Amino acid sequence: MRLLLTSGGVTNRSIRNALIGLLGKPIGESDALFIPTAQWGQPACSPQTVWRSTSEGDPGARLVGLGWKSVGVLELTALSSIAEERWMTWVRDADVLLVDGGEARYLSTWMQRSGLADLLPELPDTVWVGVSAGSMVMTPRVGREFLDWQPDGPDDTLGLVDFSIFPHLDHPGWSENTLEAARRWAERIPGTSYAIDDETAIAVADDRVEVISEGHWERFEG
């Protein structure tokens, strides 16, 4: 699987070009599935925020509204009630999975319960575009600062990459997302970690990690 791990979605030309490179073909020739599941684990999200993410206005324009050949919705909490041969076909036929933000531990839990996590190694040509928690879920740990679903629970996630992500760096009005806060977070995260703003993404393909940015990012070694 090829990964495009973003903080705020496809927000600029550089990230869009990286996406096209990972797809290996134009966006308009690519079929997408949108996964909103992480939002249900985040207390700040609601049915209204899910709807805005699935529309082509802001913020949907940064994910579902990029001009895909087709876009469908895949809700992971429903998959256990559907025959695997049915929904796995949908996933295998998609060129890209668009995975929205919310709460990374909640998303990780439902990826495992649904069986999607087990399917990922069988999708070498599929592109995963994560937003915030949709990116963090691929890392080993998210840090206690980002536990909103089960604040006293573990902070480990899928660990498909060997670095962690602090998203929304310096987001206007978010006092907990400053560079100083990111540095404190990184001190408790072992190994490599990145703080990225909404104009930054991390592309992972063939074990190669590349930061794509028109904004601000920092790398830390814990």
Return the CATH number at 30. Answer: 3.40.50.880
In a domain, 217, yes or no: no
In a domain, 172, yes or no: yes
In a domain, 214, yes or no: no
Answer for the pair 65, 57: CB distance below 8 angstroms, yes or no. yes
Residue 128 tokens, joined: 């995963």
Spatial separation of the C-alpha atoms in residues 104 and 38, rounded to whole Å: 6
Give the CA distances from residue 165 to residues 28, 38, 45, 81, 203, in Å, rounded to whole numbers and listed in that order. 29, 16, 20, 32, 13
Residue 222: what pLDDT?
75
Give the residue numbers spanning the domain of 83: 2-205
Domain count of the fold of the chain: 1
Which residues, given as ranges, of the chain have pLDDT below 50?
none
- Select from 39, 66, 28 the least CA-distant residue to 148: 39
In a domain, 210, yes or no: no
Please tell me the pTM assigned to this model: 0.96
